[in-house]
């Protein structure tokens, strides 16, 4: 009954939407500013603009705004400077719940833009010391008790951070006590590694291959090895924006869904490489994007480069449909490390963010077959299986964690202020 009541409240809230005002092309707004970070997986946004998918769906003038950091992406969305943005997977939940003391901003996500694509890079000095595995790194930490090993990640709500932490903890390394984790924008990772400010990092390409090709780092783990097919980047808009411009939102999802399909036709990858390498987008040397995107993936070790067809995944294997299961996993990991309380009413919280209804309408209007995700478990590299039967019990039983809080979120009050009620 508690579960069903949560779903009922979500439906009632959405039923209160005001009727939109149409501008042109059957849309309420035709000129959009969309934020992105210069990474290989910004490809669907670039393709939608350069190949005309935005215009084909009535979005006459789309400006892609290259942002310096994920923090600026969140700020741009919250302040209304950006209409929409490429976001790290946990950002919509983080913004809804007011992560790091920020004012809560309800954000909707109706589309997963990409999966996989990250790697954990360690500095060459570790490689020279014989470190090849997580077990080796744990031994190095034990052998150097007076040394703080500093590792970079791109945003606290990113899969980079959550998978990095999961990987470390699975090896018996406390990511808060045994190492130092610090936030660094992706384009600044390699320079910080070279300068000795960090010993390693988790990021997306081209910044991993840039380190490998430049001889400053090697890949010790890939995100698809930790959690195959993991959610990576999502489309995010504020809830207010989605309610004010529903037809524009739908057109945006349709355009990007077609672009995602285009990106996963490997016959198009050479063309896409040239598009995304342009200065206004990634501005990178193509040789730092080719590994994994087109060519075999080089880890900078003695191992032969490996062909990984899903290293960057944009459409295949039901990539794009918003998935409650994986968003609850993301939220559980954020709660595991004390970033947020885990909501007792997690169904209501997740369903306020995810918009599979908008995605479903986009799919139907495009005449696509059903590409919804039907997945009941998530299995990680250490054999752990996560499901929705009892995420709270999962959190209570996990060994390495920080100050776990289970609290009910007063979801109706979010928008003006986030109110959390302690459980009875």
pLDDT tens per residue across span 144-184: 999 999 999 999 999 999 999 999 999 999 999 999 999 99
pLDDT at 1: 61
- Evaluate whether residue 35 is within a structural domain: yes
Mean pLDDT of the chain: 93
Q: What is the pTM of this model?
A: 0.92
- Evaluate whether residue 424 is within a structural domain: no
- Evaluate whether residue 378 is within a structural domain: yes
The better pLDDT of the pair 99, 249 is held by 249
Average pLDDT over residues 262-273: 99
Residue 87 CA: distances (Å) to CA of 24, 108, 178, 199: 28, 11, 29, 26
- Evaluate whether residue 27 is within a structural domain: yes
**Largest Cα span, the chain:** 66
The enclosing domain of 45 has a CATH number of: 3.40.190.10
Tens of pLDDT, residues 108-134:
999 999 999 999 999 999 999 999 999
Label residue 56 by pLDDT band (50, 70, 90). Answer: very high
DSSP assigned state of 108: E
Q: Which residue has the tokens 């285009």?
A: 262
Residue 10 scores a pLDDT above 70: no
- Evaluate whether residue 161 is within a structural domain: no
Rg value, the chain, Cα: 21
- Evaluate whether residue 87 is within a structural domain: yes
- Evaluate whether residue 151 is within a structural domain: no
In degrees, rounded to 5, the angle at the alpha carbon of residue 215 between the alpha carbons of residues 212 and 219 is 35
Label residue 369 by pLDDT band (50, 70, 90). Answer: confident
- Evaluate whether residue 185 is within a structural domain: no
Residue 36 domain boundaries? 2-115+230-291+318-383
Average pLDDT over residues 369-390: 89
Other beta carbons less than 10 A from residue 397's beta carbon? 9
Label residue 24 by pLDDT band (50, 70, 90). Answer: confident
Total of domains in the chain: 1
């Amino acid at each position: 009954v508690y579960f069903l009541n949560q779903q009922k409240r979500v439906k009632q809230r959405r039923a209160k939407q005001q009727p939109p005002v149409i501008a042109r092309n059957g849309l309420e707004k035709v000129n959009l500013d969309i934020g992105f970070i210069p990474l290989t997986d910004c490809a669907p946004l670039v393709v939608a603009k350069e190949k005309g998918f935005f215009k084909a769906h009535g979005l006459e003038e789309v400006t892609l705004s290259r942002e310096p950091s994920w923090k600026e992406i969140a700020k741009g969305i919250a302040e209304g400077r950006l209409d929409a943005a490429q976001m790290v997977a946990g950002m919509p939940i983080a913004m809804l719940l007011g992560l790091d003391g920020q004012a809560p901003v309800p954000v909707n996500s109706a589309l997963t833009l990409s999966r996989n694509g990250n790697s954990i890079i360690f500095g060459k000095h570790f490689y020279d010391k014989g470190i090849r595995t997580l077990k080796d790194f744990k031994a190095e930490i034990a052998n150097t008790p007076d040394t703080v090993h500093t590792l970079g990640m791109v945003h606290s709500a990113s899969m980079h951070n959550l998978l990095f932490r999961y990987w470390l903890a699975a090896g018996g390394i406390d990511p808060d006590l045994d190492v130092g984790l610090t936030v660094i924008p992706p384009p600044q990772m390699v320079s910080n590694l070279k300068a000795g400010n960090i010993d390693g990092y988790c990021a997306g390409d081209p910044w991993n291959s840039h380190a490998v090709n430049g001889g400053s780092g090697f890949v010790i783990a890939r995100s698809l090895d930790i959690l195959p097919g993991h959610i990576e980047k999502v489309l995010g808009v504020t809830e207010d924006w989605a309610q004010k411009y529903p037809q524009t939102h739908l057109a945006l999802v349709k355009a990007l869904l077609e672009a995602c399909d285009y990106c996963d036709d490997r016959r198009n990858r050479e063309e896409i490489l040239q598009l995304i390498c342009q200065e206004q987008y990634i501005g990178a040397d193509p040789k730092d994007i080719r590994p994994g995107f087109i060519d075999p993936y080089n880890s900078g070790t003695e191992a032969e480069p490996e062909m990984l067809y899903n290293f960057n995944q944009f459409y295949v294997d039901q990539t794009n449909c918003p998935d409650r299961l994986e968003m609850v996993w993301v939220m559980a990991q954020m709660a595991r490390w004390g970033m947020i309380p885990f909501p007792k009413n997690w169904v209501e919280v997740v369903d306020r963010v995810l918009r599979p209804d908008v995605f479903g309408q986009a799919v139907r209007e495009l005449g696509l077959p059903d590409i919804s995700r039907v997945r009941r478990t998530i299995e990680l590299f250490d054999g752990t299986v996560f499901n929705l039967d009892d995420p709270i019990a999962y959190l209570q039983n996990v060994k390495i964690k920080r100050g776990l809080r289970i609290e009910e979120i007063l979801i109706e009050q979010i928008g003006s202020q986030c109110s959390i009620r302690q459980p009875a």
